[in-house]
C-alpha cells in the first residue's frame, strides 16, 4: 500500500526562509535563458556564415597577395610568392588547394583592330585550369599557333561598358564581344609579335585576363628571356573563406585578401567570442543557482531535523523520504526551463523575422541542440537535487 507524503510535507517547511528559494529559482531561470539564447545565436552564426557566402562546387575561391610596404617597394622579389612559400600555403589544413597566377614579364598591348578604335596596354595571367570556373574546350594553345583564346573577367567587361560611352566607344553584349577579334601584341628583346586573340569565355571568379598557361610560359621565355615561377598572386581553393583559422594565418603571414571576402569571418570571431562568453556566464549562473538551492535544502533539512528523526524512528525509510522530498521540486525545474525555452523560441522567431527578414539559411524555430540542452539541464537539476537530499537524509539516519 502506497504511503501518502501529504501529511508529512508540512513538517519539512515550518520556519524556513523562502527568500533563498526564490532567489535560486530566479537565478536558475536567468542562467538557463542566457545559456539557451547563447547556444541558439552561436548556431545562427554558424548557419549564416556557412550558407551566406557565394560558393561554387562547394568551395570558395579567392586570391591573396603580399602586403607591400615602404621597405619592400621596388623589390619585387620580396613581394612575390616563391616556391617555398607556395608549398607552405598548400600544406595548411584549411586550404584545399593553391595555384600561382603567373603574369607576363614583357609589355603587352591589346587592341580591337579595325573593328573598334580601342587600344590599351594590358597584362596577361595564367592559372591552373582546375581553378577556372568557365573553361571551354577551346581554351588551349600549341606552340606555333597565332590564335590565342582569352578568358576575360566579367568585372573587367562591365568596367569597359561603363567608360565606353565617354570615350565614344560602343557598349557591347557578351555575345558580341566574343565575336570581335582581339589583337595581342607582345614586345620584348627588340622584337614585337602580334597574335590574334578571341574571347572564349567570361569568368565571374577570376579578375584577370587569362590565357593558356603554356602560352604564357613560352611567351615569357621568348620576350623576356625569363622562366619565372614566382607569382604576385596566389589563387586559393577553400572549404570556407570565413574560417577564423584562415584569417589568423593570413594576418600572421602579412598576406592580403579582400576585406569584403572575409568580413563575415572577422565578425564571426568577435560574435563567437561574445556569445561564448555569454554562454559561459549563463552556465555559471545556473551552477550558482543550483548551489544556492542546495543551501536552501540544507537549511530545510537542518530546521526539520527533529521531525525527520521522528519520522525515521516511526519507520519511514531515508530513501522514501528523499525521493518524495526531491520530487516536490521537479515541477519547479520543469516550469523554469520550459519558460526559458519558450522565451528563447520567441527571441529566435523575432530575430529571424524582424532582424534577418526571414532569410532561408535560418529557421524561426530553435535548433534541436537547444532542445537537447534544455532536457539535459532539467535532468542535471533533478539528479543533483535528488542526490543531495538523499545524502542529507542518510546522514540523519
- Span 162-200, pLDDT tens digits: 988 888 888 888 888 888 888 999 998 888 999 999 999
| 22/82 same-domain check | no
Does residue 251 lie within any of the structural domains? no
The sheet carrying 147-153 orders its strands as: 119-122, 107-111, 182-188, 191-203, 147-153, 209-210, 125-126, 95-103, 233-238, 60-66, 255-256
For 90-150, the three-class secondary structure string (H helix, E strand, C coil) is HCCCCEEEEEEEEECCCEEEEECCCCCCCEEEECCEECCHHHCCCCCCCCCCCCCCCEEEE
Q: What is d(CA 95, CA 239) in angstroms, rounded to the nearest whole number? A: 7
Domain end point (choices 223, 239, 255)? 239
Quote the pLDDT of residue 130.
87
| 161/132 same-domain check | yes
At residue 43's C-alpha, the angle toward residues 40 and 45, to 5°, is 115
Query: Which tens digits make up the pLDDT trace of 326-341?
Result: 777 788 888 988 999 9
pLDDT above 70 for 42: yes
Give the chain's mean pLDDT: 80
| 18/124 same-domain check | no
| 33/65 same-domain check | no
Quote the pLDDT of residue 51.
47
Quote the pLDDT of residue 231.
85
Q: What is d(CA 49, CA 244) in angstroms, rounded to the nearest whole number? A: 11
Residue 319 in grid coordinates: 530513501
Q: What range does the domain containing 229 cover?
A: 60-239
Does residue 1 lie within any of the structural domains? no
CA separation, residue 353 to residues 34, 38, 58, 109, 272 (Å)? 21, 18, 28, 53, 22
Which value, in Å, is the radius of gyration of the alpha carbons in the chain?
Answer: 35
Q: What is d(CA 168, CA 153) in angstroms, rounded to the nearest whole number? A: 22
Lowest mean pLDDT among 139-153, 242-256, 288-302: 288-302
Quote the pLDDT of residue 267.
59
Residue 382 in grid coordinates: 533533478
Residue 270 in grid coordinates: 568577435
Q: What is d(CA 54, CA 131) in angstroms, rounded to the nearest whole number? A: 15
| 234/115 same-domain check | yes
Quote the pLDDT of residue 371.
93
| 15/105 same-domain check | no
Q: Which of 204-208, 259-263, 315-319 is modeled with the greatest confidence?
A: 204-208
Quote the pLDDT of residue 122.
87
Q: What is d(CA 96, CA 92) in angstroms, rounded to the nearest whole number? A: 8
Does residue 360 lie within any of the structural domains? yes
Does residue 192 lie within any of the structural domains? yes
Angle, nearest 10°, between helix axes 18-52 and 368-396? 150
Q: Which of 139-148, 252-261, 347-356 is modeled with the greatest confidence?
A: 139-148
| 39/170 same-domain check | no
| 107/80 same-domain check | yes
| 48/65 same-domain check | no
pLDDT above 70 for 118: yes
pLDDT band at 345 (very low <50, low <70, confident <90, very high): very high
Does residue 245 lie within any of the structural domains? no
Does residue 260 lie within any of the structural domains? no
Query: Which tens digits make up the pLDDT trace of 228-238?
Result: 778 888 988 88
pLDDT above 60 for 264: no
| 47/109 same-domain check | no
Mean pLDDT, to the nearest integer, of 37-51? 76
Residue 91 in grid coordinates: 600544406
Q: How far apart are the first and last CA of the chain?
A: 23
CA separation, residue 169 to residues 71, 110, 118, 196, 299 (Å)? 41, 15, 8, 21, 90
Q: What is d(CA 197, CA 215) in angstroms, rounded to the nearest whole number? A: 12
pLDDT above 90 for 372: yes
Query: Which tens digits make up the pLDDT trace of 282-321?
Result: 888 888 877 777 777 777 676 666 766 666 666 666 667 6
Quote the pLDDT of residue 53.
42
Domain count within the chain:
2
| 71/217 same-domain check | yes
pLDDT above 50 for 260: no
Quote the pLDDT of residue 368.
92
Does residue 4 lie within any of the structural domains? no
Domain end point (choices 191, 224, 239)? 239
* Bridge partner list, 166: none
Strands 147-153 vs 191-203: parallel, antiparallel or unpaired: parallel
| 200/142 same-domain check | yes
pTM: 0.57
Does residue 284 lie within any of the structural domains? yes
With H, G, I as helix, E, B as strand and everything else as coil, classify residue 269. helix
CB within 8 Å of 239: residues ≥ 6 apart: 58, 59, 60, 94, 96
Amino acid at each position: 500500500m502506497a504511503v501518502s507524503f501529504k501529511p508529512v510535507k508540512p513538517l519539512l517547511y515550518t520556519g524556513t526562509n523562502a527568500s533563498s528559494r526564490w532567489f535560486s529559482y530566479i537565478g536558475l531561470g536567468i542562467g538557463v535563458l542566457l545559456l539557451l539564447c547563447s547556444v541558439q545565436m552561436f548556431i545562427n552564426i554558424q548557419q549564416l556564415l556557412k550558407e551566406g557566402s557565394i560558393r561554387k562546387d562547394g568551395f570558395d575561391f579567392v586570391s591573396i597577395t603580399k602586403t607591400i610596404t615602404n621597405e619592400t617597394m621596388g623589390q619585387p622579389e620580396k613581394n612575390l610568392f616563391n616556391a617555398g612559400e607556395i608549398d607552405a600555403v598548400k600544406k595548411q589544413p584549411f586550404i584545399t588547394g593553391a595555384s600561382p597566377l603567373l603574369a607576363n614579364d614583357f609589355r603587352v598591348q591589346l587592341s580591337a583592330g579595325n573593328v573598334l578604335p580601342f587600344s590599351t596596354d594590358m597584362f596577361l595571367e595564367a592559372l591552373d585550369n582546375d581553378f577556372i570556373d568557365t573553361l571551354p574546350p577551346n581554351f588551349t594553345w600549341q606552340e606555333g599557333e597565332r590564335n590565342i583564346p582569352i578568358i576575360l573577367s566579367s568585372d573587367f567587361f562591365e568596367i569597359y561598358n561603363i567608360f565606353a560611352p565617354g570615350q565614344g566607344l560602343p557598349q557591347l553584349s557578351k555575345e558580341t564581344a566574343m565575336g570581335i577579334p582581339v589583337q595581342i601584341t607582345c614586345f620584348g628583346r627588340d622584337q614585337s609579335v602580334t597574335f590574334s586573340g578571341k574571347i572564349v569565355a567570361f569568368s565571374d571568379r577570376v579578375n584577370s585576363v587569362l590565357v593558356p598557361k603554356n602560352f604564357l610560359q613560352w611567351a615569357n621565355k621568348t620576350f623576356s628571356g625569363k622562366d619565372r615561377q614566382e607569382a604576385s598572386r596566389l589563387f586559393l581553393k577553400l572549404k570556407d573563406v570565413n574560417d577564423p583559422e584562415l584569417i589568423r594565418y593570413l594576418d600572421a603571414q602579412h598576406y592580403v585578401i579582400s576585406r569584403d571576402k572575409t568580413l563575415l569571418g572577422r565578425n564571426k570571431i568577435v560574435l563567437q567570442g561574445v556569445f561564448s562568453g555569454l554562454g559561459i556566464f549563463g552556465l555559471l549562473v545556473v551552477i550558482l543557482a543550483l548551489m544556492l538551492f542546495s543551501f536552501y535544502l540544507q537549511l530545510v533539512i537542518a530546521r526539520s531535523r527533529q521531525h525527520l528523526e521522528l519520522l525515521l524512528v516511526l519507520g519511514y525509510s531515508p530513501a522514501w523520504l528523499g525521493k518524495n522530498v526531491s520530487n516536490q521540486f521537479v515541477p519547479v525545474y520543469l516550469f523554469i526551463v520550459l519558460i526559458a525555452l519558450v522565451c528563447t523560441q520567441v527571441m529566435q522567431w523575432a530575430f529571424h523575422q524582424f532582424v534577418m527578414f526571414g532569410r532561408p539559411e535560418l529557421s524561426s524555430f530553435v535548433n534541436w541542440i537547444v532542445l537537447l540542452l534544455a532536457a539535459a539541464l532539467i535532468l542535471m537539476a533533478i539528479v543533483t537535487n535528488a542526490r543531495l537530499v538523499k545524502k542529507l537524509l542518510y546522514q540523519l539516519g
